[in-house]
Amino acid sequence: MGDRVDAVFDALADPSRRYLVERLTELGFSTPTELAGELPMTRQAVTKHLALLEHAGLVTGTREGRKTVYRPELDALGDASRWLERVGAQWDERLAALGRHVTVRQSRAPG
């Protein structure tokens, strides 16, 4: 089921990181210095959160001269919703198997 999806959920478990993803989505792109200006957080802390978000595939950082510019990766969030569909499909399969299992067992029961 993917480490990638786990990484996405872990990354979004933190409110500061959720804020960073939301803010990057609104702005289109930004830098750790700009983002730190909007949060009660140091640039170093923002950089650390962005690195974790980048590892989860939620943002991408690009070196532009002396600064790193971050952009949101919207497809990664789509992975999470696709995973939801997959878990739904898993339950469809499991319950169908449960229905077969119970029915077969019952038909074999004596009497």
Partner 1 sequence: MEIVREIVLPVSPAEAWEAVTEPERLEEWFANDVELDARPGGRGFFRWDDGDVRHAVVEIAVAPERLVLRWDDDGVVELELAEHPDGTRVHVRETSPQWGLALELHACAAWAIA
Is residue 100 within a helix (H) or strand (E), and if so which, with residue range? helix 74-108
Tell me which residue has tokens 């009660």. 40
Q: CA–CA separation, 54 vs 48, rounded Å? A: 10
Q: Which two tokens stand for residue 79?
A: 């992975």
Q: What's the DSSP call for residue 41? A: S
Closest to partner 1 by CB, 40 vs 88, is: 88
Closest to partner 1 by CB, 43 vs 61, is: 61
Among 3, 13, 63, 110, binds partner 1 (CB under 8 A): 13
Among 4, 7, 18, 51, binds partner 1 (CB under 8 A): 18
Exposed, middle or buried: residue 98 (CB in 10 Å: 0-12, 13-18, 19+)? exposed
Q: Which of 56, 59, 54 is nearest to 73 (CA)?
A: 59
1 binds partner 1 (CB under 8 A): yes
Site string for partner 1, 48-87 (x = CB under 8 A): ------------------------x-x--xx-xx--x--x
Q: Which residues bind partner 1 (CB under 8 A)?
A: 1, 6, 8-9, 12-13, 18, 21-22, 25-26, 72, 74, 77-78, 80-81, 84, 87-88, 91-92, 94-103, 106
